Amino acid sequence: MRIGTKLGILALTVFLVSLVTFMISLLLPGDPVAIALGTSYNPNTASGRAQITEVRKELRLDRAVPMRYLLWAKGAATGDLGRKVGSSSGGVKTTRILKERLPVTLEIMVLTQIVAILLAIPLGMLSAYRKGKATDNIITGGSFAMLALPNFALGLVLVYIFSVKLKWLPSVGYTRLTEDLGKNLRSMVIPVLTLALGLAAVYTRLLRSEMTATLQEDFIQMATAKGIKPWRVLFGHALRPSSFSLLTVIGINVGALIGGAVIMEQLMSINGVGSALVESIFQREYQVVLGLVLVITIFYVVANFIVDLLYTVLDPRIRRGSTRA
Amino acid sequence: MKNRSIGHTRSRLFTAGLLCMAFVAAACGSSSKSSSSSTTAASTATTAAATASSQAPATTVAPVVTTPQTAITTAAPAPPTTVAQANKPVVGGELRVALESGISTLDPAKALIQPADRLVGLGVFDPLVSFDKDNKFVPYLAESITAADDLKSWTVVLRKGVKFQDGTDLNADAVIAHWLRMADPATLSNNQALAASQKPSKKDDLTVVFTMDKPSVGFPNDLTTSMGLIPSPTAVAKDPAGFSQNPVGTGPFKVTKFESGGVVVIEKNAGYWKKDDAGVQLPYLDKITFTGVADTQKRLQALQNGEFDLIQTADAATVVAAEKAKLKVQRVTGASSTTLMFNNKTGPTADVKVRQALAAAIDRDTINQLVYDGARVPSYSVFALDSPFLKKDTGNPKFDLEKAKALVKEVGKPIEITAECIPTPEANSFMELLKQQWEAAGIKVTLKSQDQGAYVTRIVKRGGDYQVGCFRSNQFAEPDQLRGTYFTDDQNNYTFFSDPEVDKAFLDGNSTTDFAKRKAAYDKVQVGLAAGLPGVTLMYDVFGNITSDKVFGLPTPEASALGLIKLTSVYVKK
């Protein structure tokens, strides 16, 4: 498929997701105006009614639904994602929330992927190479243990060990990268490790099974017969053809990781985009919910788009196939 | 998925509109060794104006809250309640504070409701009126505040020479601009209606006269809430929408970093107008970092780990845990409590005998033990335990199962009620216990629960579509703040309670500053409420400020409740 077509599909996906999210926000229970105004206004007075009008205007509830969507989409396209309207919310803009919180979540997600991949590649390969031996059994057993452990439980255990008992790492909060790199990394250890261990288990299992198949291939037998060292065979010859499923799953996990990040953000009082989303849903701040979901969607879709492109790097046949098509 | 600790739930409950919470007040400070019974005078603050006038020789003398002189001395840093009384305060250093929630807004015009927002707000802004160490009203940013005889107008004279953090002068125009902004519906202020009923006019550069339609005995109290925190008119005009994140006040600290819901940093305002008794420039601290940590136990844990120096909590169990762990705890028993409202208009609870039976069947001690580990204080009154207005023998029903059974029999037909609350673990457990206790008295109970936002919205719409509902009563220092809740047909009367005697007593209490007369009026109110039972109060709230042993100089918590303190006089020893 041409890149142009792919980009078209990408845009269509973002559009559809925004439309569906917008529609779901219409179905949520509770009157956003009443919630925004709290309880200290009196709907039976002129000024109370004026307040209602203000909020309705702000939330575009005075417009028809399709118009509301179009206005919102127009705003989103020009970088205006609305703001909180609740009377005790401070009217903070969605873009500000994103600016403050997206880097936090992104850091957790990126570090998690890196750690998970760095753990999974050697372990998966070792496991495949030593298939059926003690090493493989230990790695496989460990992987299953990590898969079975929900990440919030693992998180609590890590907090207990490293923060409460050993007092090595902070149990709550987050220091920005720009403020203090050391503190930043320290605050990242528990959330990243918690998420990465479970993920690494998935990747390890996947790589092991792919690699086991690859190692049966003729060209591997050939390489081994030529006397090439095992680690060179594994890294130089076997890894690339064994990474397709892994790559796909890494892409898919960009989405799953957002869910994991929400849990870790809640667990450790880290103010990321996940906790902002949960907060906004509870506060019925629809504009913020829509804005955040839109941006998360874009990230997800773009991440998978990049994974698609990486296939062509891994396997030139795909690239050639696309030029022929 | 959302980590719903009790503390967090509670702060959420505040947000969702603890009804008359706009005028939060009352509470009481006590020292670290206190138990609930040793809390200091709470609602004494309410009497400040009253006492002043009752002692005044002639009725023609306008009731002055206090003289400017006393304001300056008493409003100076309150003596540390903890060990370091004799120690000299340390100037400089940083305090790390964990709050119940991240800071969402610091715009006082919209109202600061969350305890976290209010605590930081008190660092950035100064209230016109505050409380001294005995919780009496004292002018703070104001130099004096004086009522007219009919209590329909109040004159506020501002301190001279005070500047906002951006260099703007504090003057009458700044105060008036703040009031007009709150009164403007477009601001979406939680205090819109109240501010609109208080018409400010400029008498001279430092004097504002507020005129009201009705006698307003509670005005000084309003000025202790976020209404009385004066923002810089220059900063507001520059960016009205962004002011909540870039606030400028006259307070001891200015905001240098604001992440909405995240970390907020405030740093010393070198030009602050206040010095301590020894002439040392306030505040002592250079910097305070606030972090929102929703889970109360995690907050305590992080304090013990040394990650924070001070934490706030609204969870009684955490306060008890901290006391057991020998941490420095400033415990506060509030005026507010968990309550049950009965629908006095329709359904089975419209019959006062049913309400009496329900009240007599409630065993608060058991609930306290089972749900709160005995950490909270059973409540039989809407007044704080140490409020000077509290009447002890109102006849409010105590636990008496036999009496409850007898009342059920007297009603003569099967009683079936539906009791509602919000779906939090805390609420679920005490509602389940209530159900058991009521069923023991022969009342059939169905429990229902609804998401807080929707629940509160439904109740405050006054549709009357409930029978028994959980709620929280409001914090107050000024008993007139209860009026709406119990006054016939008031928009804040969610129980539809109506008693002409009680209405009259409220109006009597509202029309004078004479303490004895007011006390008599509110005694009648309490007797009326105990007999009519619009609802029952269950447990007083317990708040706490918990610190590491390096923190000193904590002032007596604000009588405006929730255990709030001004951090001006706090210092940290290495």
* pLDDT for position B221: 87
Please say if the pLDDT value at position B62 is more than 90.
no
Q: Residue A133 to residues A126, A140, B434, B444: CA-CA distances in angstroms?
A: 10, 11, 61, 66
Q: In chain B, which residues have their Cβ closer than 8 Å to the Cβ of A48?
A: 185, 192-193
Identify the DSSP state of B17: T
Please say if the pLDDT value at position A40 is more than 80.
no
Q: Which residues touch B367 (CB under 8 Å, ≥6 apart)? A: B430, B433, B434, B538, B539
Please say if the pLDDT value at position B12 is more than 50.
no
Mean pLDDT, rounded, of chain B: 81
- Separation between Cα atoms, residue B264 and residue A295, nearest integer Å: 25
Q: Which residues touch B272 (CB under 8 Å, ≥6 apart)? A: B251, B252, B281, B282, B283
Q: In chain A, which residues have their Cβ closer than 8 Å to the Cβ of B186?
A: 50-51, 54
* pLDDT for position B240: 87
Q: How confident is the model at residue B467 (pLDDT cuts 50, 70, 90)?
A: very high
Q: How confident is the model at residue B2 (pLDDT cuts 50, 70, 90)?
A: very low
Instruction: Give the residue from A251, A295, A254 showing the smallest Cα distance to A273.
Output: A295
Q: How confident is the model at residue A42 (pLDDT cuts 50, 70, 90)?
A: low
- Separation between Cα atoms, residue B168 and residue B231, nearest integer Å: 10
| Residues B62-70, mean pLDDT to the nearest whole number | 31
- The beta-carbon neighbor of B291 closest among A91, A173, A276 is A173
* pLDDT for position B120: 94
* pLDDT for position B100: 85
Mean pLDDT, rounded, of chain A: 85
- Tell me phi and psi for residue B468, to 5 degrees: -125, 130
- Separation between Cα atoms, residue B521 and residue B482, nearest integer Å: 13
C-alpha torsion sign, points B132, B135, B140, B143: negative
Pair B98, B303: CB distance under 8 Å? yes
More confident residue, B304 or B80: B304
Q: Which residues touch A149 (CB under 8 Å, ≥6 apart)? A: A197, A198
- Separation between Cα atoms, residue B506 and residue B214, nearest integer Å: 13
Residue in B12, B259, B309 to test binding to A, most A beta-carbons within 10 Å: B259
* pLDDT for position B560: 55
Q: B536 in helix, strand or coil?
A: strand
- The beta-carbon neighbor of A40 closest among B98, B105, B191 is B191
| pLDDT tens string B408-439 | 999 999 999 999 998 888 899 999 999 999 99
Structure tokens at A182: 């050391």
Q: Report which listed range, A17-21, A143-147, B174-178, B334-338, is most confident.
A: B174-178
Pair A14, A301: CB distance under 8 Å? yes
Give the range among A61-70, B24-33, B83-92 with minimum mean pLDDT.
B24-33
* pLDDT for position B561: 63
Please say if the pLDDT value at position B209 is more than 90.
yes
| Residues B171-175, mean pLDDT to the nearest whole number | 96
Please say if the pLDDT value at position A251 is more than 50.
yes
User: Which amino acid is it at A157?
Assistant: V
- The beta-carbon neighbor of B261 closest among A50, A88, A279 is A279
Question: Which residues 51-80 of A have a C-beta within 8 angstroms of B?
Answer: 51, 53-55
- The beta-carbon neighbor of B105 closest among A35, A41, A90 is A90
Q: In chain A, which residues have their Cβ closer than 8 Å to the Cβ of B490?
A: none
* pLDDT for position B460: 77
Structure tokens at B381: 């009154």
Instruction: Give the residue from B376, B433, B421 showing the smallest Cα distance to B13.
Output: B421
Give the range among A16-20, B143-147, B232-236 with minimum mean pLDDT.
A16-20
Look-up of token digits 């037909």? B413
* pLDDT for position A204: 93
Pair B477, B25: CB distance under 8 Å? yes
Cβ–Cβ gap A39/B189 under 8 Å:
no
User: Count of A–B CB contacts within 8 Å?
Assistant: 159
| pLDDT tens string B108-122 | 988 787 788 889 999
Burial of B98 (0-12, 13-18, 19+ CB in 10 A): buried
- Separation between Cα atoms, residue A119 and residue A116, nearest integer Å: 5
Listed in sequence order, the DSSP H helices in B447-546 are: 452-460, 483-486, 500-510, 515-532
* pLDDT for position B51: 30
Please say if the pLDDT value at position B87 is more than 50.
yes
Share of chain A above pLDDT 90, in %: 19
- Separation between Cα atoms, residue A136 and residue A318, nearest integer Å: 33
- Tell me phi and psi for residue A314, to 5 degrees: -65, -40
| Nearest residue in A to B246, CA atom | A90
Chain A nearest-CA distance from B551, in A, is: 20
| Residues A269-294, mean pLDDT to the nearest whole number | 87
CA dihedral B415, B416, B420, B426 (to 10 degrees): 80
* pLDDT for position B134: 66
- The beta-carbon neighbor of A90 closest among B3, B98, B260 is B260
| pLDDT tens string B360-398 | 999 999 999 998 888 888 999 888 877 788 898 898 999
Distance of CA A253 to the CA centre of its chain: 7
Residue B343 has, within 13 A of its CA and on its CB side, a CA count of 19
* pLDDT for position B513: 79
Please say if the pLDDT value at position B52 is more than 60.
no
